[in-house]
Amino acid sequence: MNRQAADDSTASGRPSPQELSAAEDESLAASHVMALSSPDWRVRRDAVAGLVAQGGVEAVNALLRGLAQHHRDPGTLNAVLQALEAMRADVVDPLAAMLRDSEADLRIYSAHALALTLDLRAIPPLLAALDDPDSNVVYHAIESLGQLKAGDASERLAQFAESRDFSVALTALSSLSSIDEASIAPRLVPLLDDDVLRDAVLETLGVLGDLESVAPMLSRLERGEVSVGVIAKGLASIHDRQLRSGRGGDVPALLTGCLTDAGKRRLIESAPTAAPSDIAALAKVLGWLPGDESIPALMVLLERAPEVPEVVDAIVRKGRGASSFLVTRLRHLQREVRQSALQALGLIGDSDTSSAVREVLADPEVMLQAVVALARIGDASSKRSVQELLGHPEAQVRRVAVSALNSLGSLAPAEVERALSSGNAAVRESATRICGYAGLQEFAEPLLERCGDENDGVRRAAIDAIVLLDDERALAALVRGLADRSSSVRKAAARGLAHLSSAAVCSPLLGAVLDPDPWVRYEVVRSLGIRRALEAREVFLQLAVNDPAIPVRIAAIEGLLTTADSTLEPQLLEWAQSPDPDIAQAAIRGLGRFHSPNALRILLSSIESAHVATRRNAIHALAASGQTGAVDALSRLAAADPERPIRHAALSALAEVPNPQAVSALIAALERPDLRTPAIDALIRLPENRIGELSAGLRHSSVDVRRSVVSALERVSSATAAELLQTATCDPARIVRMAALRAIGRHSLSARLPPLDSTSASGEAG
């Protein structure tokens, strides 16, 4: 019918409906592109949104024409680039053609736009642009290659850095850091003699360097040629890389052996004036220095940045030598300094500091930190001071005190009995918790008595405690607790019944499903679900449909899933389309257990939901279902979802799908620079029996993909990974061969492998 209409239109000279539609789309796209030139940023924003919503060939072509015609207008140019990035259209070929245009400005912005495509096909034209006669084009091509993490470009970028041409060397160093190719690091060390490039080289060595870079960096520190902060961050970065490879102690050892007194003085004297962004790294390096000479500098950093955890860690590394310095900070005017000092004292565990810590127990601003510190120090002489806090009016203080007493030593039975019968309800509550935590069976009788205490808090604590005791009377006490006047006691009783070994707990729980308090009902339903109570199935169904409290309905759906069979699927399909996103998400999670076309249809629809949480739950359900179509759906989501956490979750889920196509999809994701790291993280989670599927990645045409597969194999300890790494040492590209050799060395796999061919890592890059 449509073909006939088109033929009739052609015969009559009238445009066909398809031609009219295309013309309308082209006209609409053109109007949006014109709006991109508006001086009003709101109009430009709406035009970008309109182009993204329209999509299609006409919109893309209009944007490319806009780039060609308006690249001299910064506002229009930025809007065009925003739209191209948001649309994720296939524009590599036309942009590559623009990279050969006679006008330099257009070549510049085409190079910039190619990076936004996140497409490895953009790398060859950008590599060609490195020979452009215009230095600005070369600059932007270098920058774009870094954004694309183009391992193929490492050699050329290293040459630009070695040229010492300021106009391109700095951006080349930055791009090398992004590409993260460690084999380039030794070539950068000689550039430390360049006054202009030195700081940038040090930053790059911090990213790429290994232990061989430490001594040259320290020599520049001693000469005073570079800021202490740059050196500290570089050393800390190398140390972190060593940690990730399982060899984290080498940098501190090298520092001890190579650092001269002059270098040490520079590090110590920089503490008062270090930039805030340098403090974490400086503290880490100061903590590595042997002896106590750096402790005063660390105290300066503590007072300047008490919230930085690396400062506390470095002080703790100094051990008892730092104790006296920390004690003097317990009276500091700044609360955060006192809190961090107490944290450090607790971690050091010097019993000689117990009395000083006890003295600040009266300070309400640091009381909790002081109790925790005393517990960690473990000095029994502090038990009395902590015990006095059992009656403190604040519940949090009492709970911390109870926990601390478990570390400082148990109370004598007579002390427990006195506390359980105290006229102070707070003391009785604390004593009740002590009995429960310690599992003191001899206090079962008084604990059961406290279940009838006049104070709600004491009764709740007693209910919590008797669950931990092996006493047959606990069931009756918990059942009575379900009828308590206090909703908090009823919640505790409902929660506790799930963990008793008796088979008789379900009946009283079923009798409490209509409790007037929604949170009591929630705990009742959860406990029935934990018990996998088949007799609760009808109750779950009724509550899931009729309960006015959403949390109860969700718990009921989850309870149903513990008793699920195929008859539940129709109901889950209905709930999955509920207008309430919480209900829908609970049902979607359950649909992952079913393998029907209807379940797959709902899950595929749910990954398009406007709710991020719904998409996330659909991702996990798709992975659990393992159905045909799950891999394609997860791959599309990983490539195109506007939310980065969702893209990463989709990649992670692919590793859970027991299908070779899922591994192929993860290998394909390695082509995208923005997906490479989460794809590697997903690949290393593959079970041992699937590691062999990564061999396909080592045969990929892209050097960057093969190098990324090697990076994943480096983090997998298995014989299969070792064999694949051995294969990679024969890769045609030197960058892949060197990465494989490093991986083998770092994991000590070479002992399990046959001797390497001495020529396998030689030759030119492929």
pLDDT digits (tens, 9 = 90+) for 210-253: 888 888 888 888 888 788 999 999 999 988 887 776 555 578 88
Contact predicate 539/528, CB 8 Å: yes
Sorting pLDDT into bands at 50, 70 and 90, what band is 444?
confident
| Secondary structure (3-state) at 6 | helix
| Neighbour count for residue 195 (Cβ, 10 Å) | 9
Q: How many residues are given for the chain?
A: 766
Indicate whether 763 pLDDT > 50. Answer: no
The mean per-residue pLDDT over the stretch 601-625 comes to 90
The residue type at 149: K
* Positive/negative CA dihedral, 633, 636, 642, 648: positive
Residue 752 pLDDT? 43
| Neighbour count for residue 246 (Cβ, 10 Å) | 11
Give the max Cα distance, the chain.
107
Least confident of 21-30, 242-251, 258-267, 411-420: 21-30
Measuring CA to CA, which residue among 521, 132, 219, 395 is closest to residue 140?
132
CA separation for the pair 295, 218 (Å, rounded): 21
Measuring CA to CA, which residue among 171, 127, 131 is closest to residue 153?
127
Cα–Cα separations (whole angstroms), residue 32 to 45, 70, 82, 568: 10, 14, 13, 49
Least confident of 280-289, 372-381, 443-452: 443-452
- Nearest 10 degrees: Cα torsion 592, 596, 598, 604: 50
Q: At 626, list the tokens.
A: 């393992």
Element (H, E) at 101: none
The mean per-residue pLDDT over the stretch 145-155 comes to 91
Contact predicate 475/451, CB 8 Å: no
Least confident of 35-39, 596-600, 656-660: 35-39
Residue 253 pLDDT? 83
Cα–Cα separations (whole angstroms), residue 432 to 383, 402, 404: 18, 10, 15
Indicate whether 7 pLDDT > 60. Answer: no
CA separation for the pair 334, 13 (Å, rounded): 85
Contact predicate 584/575, CB 8 Å: yes
Model confidence pLDDT, tens digit, residues 358-380: 999 999 999 999 999 999 999 99
**191 DSSP 8-state letter:** G
Element (H, E) at 55: none
The mean per-residue pLDDT over the stretch 380-399 comes to 94
Sorting pLDDT into bands at 50, 70 and 90, what band is 552?
very high
User: What's the gap between Cα 355 and its chain centre?
Assistant: 41
Percentages of the chain per state (helix, strand, coil), in multiples of 5 = 75, 0, 25
User: Global pTM?
Assistant: 0.74
| Secondary structure (3-state) at 716 | coil
Measuring CA to CA, which residue among 622, 703, 706 is closest to residue 659?
622
Mean pLDDT, rounded, of the chain: 86
Contact predicate 98/106, CB 8 Å: yes
Sorting pLDDT into bands at 50, 70 and 90, what band is 3?
very low
Sorting pLDDT into bands at 50, 70 and 90, what band is 9?
very low
Q: At 336, list the tokens.
A: 């955060």
